[in-house]
Structure 1
Amino acid sequence: MILWTIQHRDAYEELVQKGVLRGNPMYIIEEIFKKSYVWMADQMKKRIGNPPAGVLYPVWAWYQWEGKRKRPDMRSHGRGWGEKGTPIVLLTIDVPDNCVLLSDFDYWHVVLNDGEIIFPYDESVHYSKEQRQKSWENIFDISCSFDGDKHHILSTQATMWEIKAEWVVKVEHFISR
């Protein structure tokens, strides 16, 4: 499966040196998001298998952006990857399908914000924590319909336990703006 991942140059250099890049907990931006990352890791264990020893969190990539199955346009993706002037790398990778879990990028933000993904949603109902967390599994329905309407600008993210150097097809260097 062809995917694209945007990484800091230091992460890419680690991939080159070690032959593998794995999720690093120190790069989870906000402490409040850790429980969501743990939830995603648990889903990955159920759906694609256990991580390599010592790996707790996934590495992220893009499968599709705004309805298009193509390489991210760094003219718009070049922002927000650290301070202005930060060296970043866009990697095109070819990952075995069984190593990847696809999910809806927009719905992932509902998980991050401890919301619910319930259709049809009833504002008069108080959903339990268990119902809310069970609803998060809807992010894995990447056909993504909102009450029967097709979502034409679907952005699909990919998570995997690691990126192996032999999966790298192309390397492009950029500077964060």
Structure 2
Amino acid sequence: MRLYSFQDQQAVDAINALGDDTMMFSDYSKSHLYNNGGVNQEIIFEAYRWMAEKLAQKTDIYMDTEHGKIPPLPWWAWYKVDGKCEEPFDEYEMTTWGREDLKRVKTYLLTLDVPDEIVLLSDINAFYNCLQGQPCFDYLSEEDEEKARDDFDGKVRQLMQTHDKQLGEELEKIVYDSWENVFIVDGTRRLKTIETDVPFMPMIEEKYDVQAAFPIMMKRFVKDIKVVYE
């Protein structure tokens, strides 16, 4: 599967240093994406952990640690941008994500050929629900989505008042079950109107983008490397 991944100098150096048959997991300790998130770090990381578990279920690839085998946090790449399988524009570069200083660093675009069987595709705009700890009702009709969200919000308010354990478990199931929708990548998700802080100026979602998660990097996956930001 042809994928495109933006990486910084540190990642590129590590990939270039790999042996021909050596595989490398994503280094959690050096990843701004996984280590930073401000006040929402715990919520954001839960979405990444969930994706890692789904990826491990598909690939049966786990990382050996002192605590036993665990699903590795994914490497990320682009599969489709604006609905097309093509090289992404520079605006899709994400090496600043998770950086508290928002500082841009030297960035490379890697063209990859990764075996289909170890790639898990998802709709990135739907995945933003997961990163916010919210249910993903995006694939419902506009009317049904509004009803589902109203029902969910009502149950949350009820939980805040009653602290009912069974209701809490029900809400958790609703959230995680709905997250499965992010794996629908056939373009059927309704592009949405997103409310902004600017009165009467909502943002109309225009692009359909598919991200790719995969558990390991190998030198032979890399078909081309080019600098996109010095």
TM-score, normalised to structure 1's length?
0.86
Q: Match for 1:124: what amino acid?
A: D
* RMSD of Structure 2 on Structure 1 (CA): 2.4
**Residue correspondences, number:** 173
Q: Which runs of 5+ in 1 are unaligned?
A: none
Distance in 1 (alpha carbons) for counterparts of 2:191 and 2:92: 30
Which deviations, in whole Å up to 9, do the C-alpha atoms of 1:46-79 show, x marking residues without a partner?
Answer: 22323343463010000011212100122x3457
Distance in 2 (alpha carbons) for counterparts of 1:107 and 1:43: 16
Higher helix share: 2
Cα distance, 1:23 vs structure 2: 1.5
Q: In 1, are the aligned partners of 2:4 and 2:111 still within 8 Å (CA)? A: yes
1:49 corresponding residue in structure 2? 60
Q: Match for 1:35: what amino acid?
A: E
Cα distance, 1:112 vs structure 2: 0.4
Distance in 2 (alpha carbons) for counterparts of 1:111 and 1:153: 19
Q: Which runs of 5+ in 2 are unaligned?
A: 66-70, 97-101, 156-170, 193-204
Q: Where in structure 2 are the equivalents of 1:68-147 lying within 5 Å?
A: 68-74=84-90, 76-78=91-93, 81=96, 83-84=103-104, 86-118=105-137, 119=140, 120-121=144-145, 122=147, 123-126=149-152, 128-146=171-189
Runs of 4+ in 1 over 6 A off after TM superposition: none
Residues 130 and 170 of structure 1: CA distance in aligned 2, closer, same or farther (over 3 Å): same
Q: In 2, are the aligned partners of 1:6 and 1:90 still within 8 Å (CA)? A: yes
Residues 21 and 71 of structure 1: CA distance in aligned 2, closer, same or farther (over 3 Å): farther
2:2 corresponding residue in structure 1? 2
Distance in 1 (alpha carbons) for counterparts of 2:183 and 2:74: 15
Q: Match for 2:55: what amino acid?
A: M
Higher strand share: 1
Distance in 2 (alpha carbons) for counterparts of 1:166 and 1:79: 23
Q: In 2, are the aligned partners of 1:88 and 1:173 still within 8 Å (CA)? A: yes
Residues 156 and 168 of structure 1: CA distance in aligned 2, closer, same or farther (over 3 Å): same
Q: Match for 2:188: what amino acid?
A: S
State percent identity of aligned pairs: 22
Distance in 2 (alpha carbons) for counterparts of 1:25 and 1:6: 17
Cα distance, 1:152 vs structure 2: 7.4
1:157 partner SS: strand
The structure that has the greater radius of gyration is: 2
